[in-house]
Amino acid sequence: MIAIIDYGVGNLRSVEKAFAYIGCEAIISSDPEFVLKADGVILPGVGAYSDAMDNLKKAGMVDVVKSVIADNRPFLGICLGMQLLFDHSEEGGNVPGLGVFKGTIKQLPLDMNLKVPHMGWNSLTISRDCPLFKGLPDNPYVYFVHSYYLDAENKDIVKAATNYGIEFDVAVGSGNVFATQFHPEKSGEVGLTILKNFKELL
C-alpha cells in the first residue's frame, strides 16, 4: 500500500486516481502513523515553497519523511515535493528545505522570452539506469507546471534533465528515493509507466 502525504498542499486526487488506474492502492493520509506503516510514500506538492515547509512541520511530517527514507522504503517526490527534498529555495528568500539532498531551488530566468511559469509539455533527456524510466522511449514528453527549478549539487543523482530556455535538472534518484519536477500523474502513458515502475519497487 502506498501513502500519499496530505499536508494541505497539492492536487492529491489526481495522484490517487493515477495509481488507481494502474491497479495500485494509494491512500491519501494526514496521519503520521499511517504514513510510517506504508510500503511506499508519495510527497506531492504545488504552490509556494515556504508555505509547504510550514505545512509539513505543522502536520508533523518532517520527521516522518526522513524516517521513511531512512527505513529504505520507496519514496517519490512530485513537483514541489521534489524541491522540498533539497537544502533550500530562492522562493520567498532563502527558505530551508528538508536537506535530504544537496542543492538549490532557483527562479527560472525571467528574461528568456519564454513564459514563466513553465507550463506544458517538454521532452526529457533520461538516464537509463533509473528504474523509474524502464520501458520509456528516448526523449519522452512529460507535463510541467513550475516557476522554480532544481540545481542539484551532486549531478550523479540527476536522472533526467530538460531544456526551457536553460537546461536544468528535473528528476533525481538515489537508493530508495526518487523525485520528479514534472507531474507523472498528468503525463499520459509516459507518466503511468513511471508510476507502474515505482509500484514495482514496493
Kindly list the catalytic residues: 79, 183, 185
Nine-digit cell at 48? 509556494
State residue 26 phi and psi, 5-degree precision.
-135, 125
Residues 6+ apart with CB under 8 A from 71: none
Phi/psi at 124 (5° precision):
-110, 150
- How far is CA 170 from each of CA 77, 81, 152, rounded to the nearest angstrom? 11, 12, 10
Instruction: Looking at the chain, list the stretches that DSSP marks H as alpha helix, in order from N- to C-terminal side.
Output: 12-21, 32-37, 49-58, 62-70, 80-83, 188-199
Strand partners, 149: 106
CA distances in angstroms from 32 to 5, 56, 183, listed in the order given: 9, 11, 24
Nearest to 165 by CA among 107, 109, 125: 109
Determine the residue type at 26: A
